[in-house]
Amino acid sequence: MKPAGRALRVGLLAALAAAGFSAAFVLAATGAGASTQQTTDPPTTTEPPTETTTQPPSPRQPGIPSGVTIGGLDVGGLLPYEASAAVRKAFDRPLVLVASPTRQYRVKPTRLGAQPNVKKAVSRARFSRPGAAISLDVQVDRFKVRRYVQRLGRELHRPAVDARMILRGSRVRAVPSSDGRRLLLLANARTIRTSLATNQRAPLKLELGVVKPRVTVKDLGPAIVILRESKRLRLFDRGKLVRTFGVATGQSSFPTPIGSFEITTMQRNPWWYPPPSDWAASAKPVPPGPGNPLGTRWMGISAPYVGIHGTPDSASIGYSASHGCVRMRISEAEWLFQRVKIGTPVFIVRV
């Protein structure tokens, strides 16, 4: 290359560089003494490199301040989602209802329609001061609680048992009464709702009321035992023998019935009316007086047309002589009449 051409190329490059352009020259030699061919690329603009934007990692969500409790549960230092899970788990613990030392019931809060507002409680806990006690708001379905308590009431109900007279052989014995029990529906429903609303899970002792019997031993009074074959009538009072009488009972064709009965009617100086039986078909009613076959007192029992009464025929005492009734001497029937009442048990036994 000639010195003049080289000087021209250097000047051109300097000028282009000053103007902000770049050039490329390609020289090709075709042989010795050949002419030099120059190729210039069009100028290009160089853009600054684009910077890649990277997001910084999200900061760890702050935990709940230390010592904070929700519904009595310590959630200090937990993340919100951890605290929510812990509160729900604690709330789902069953209630323990104690009816007796050997009888308990366990029931889930959800069965009673209890719904805790965990989200609200955790939100308050996040921004509370350390050691704060956050309450847990709980909605309780009163209808479901009442229905559950009513079911328990039916299961736990025990009726009272009245005292009564029972026959043992030819004697009667007084069986004492016993108290019953009932579940106090309103009081127990209120206690259960309070336990759910305050997130308490201590065992709850169910409140039971006492059901008193209507009849106790002191209310029993007298009872009569008639020994049909022995022709004896025994009067008991509260299970203790008071007195024994000789009586007449029914003939073999009209036997005095065997069984448990009670006095249903009591009459002084009664009329005698013929019963609907063949043996009395032609008989007429007999007014009170010395010839009345019922004497002066009538104590009818729950067996049809059968009663205990006096008789003017005292010679029949000790025999099977009546048409099914139990005859007594008139003075003894009057004495007995003063000591029994409607409802007095009458036991007639075969001995």
- Just list the catalytic residues: 309, 325
Q: Are 177 and 163 a contacting pair, CB within 8 Å?
A: yes
Alpha-carbon distance values, 242 to 193, 223, 350 (Å): 58, 10, 21
Burial class (CB in 10 A: 0-12, 13-18, 19+), 35: exposed
Closest CA to 262 of 225, 295, 216: 225
- Count of alpha carbons within 13 angstroms of residue 17, beta-carbon side: 7
**Rg of the chain in Å (alpha carbons):** 55
DSSP string, 15-52: HHHHTT-------B--STTPPPB---PPP-PPPPPPPP
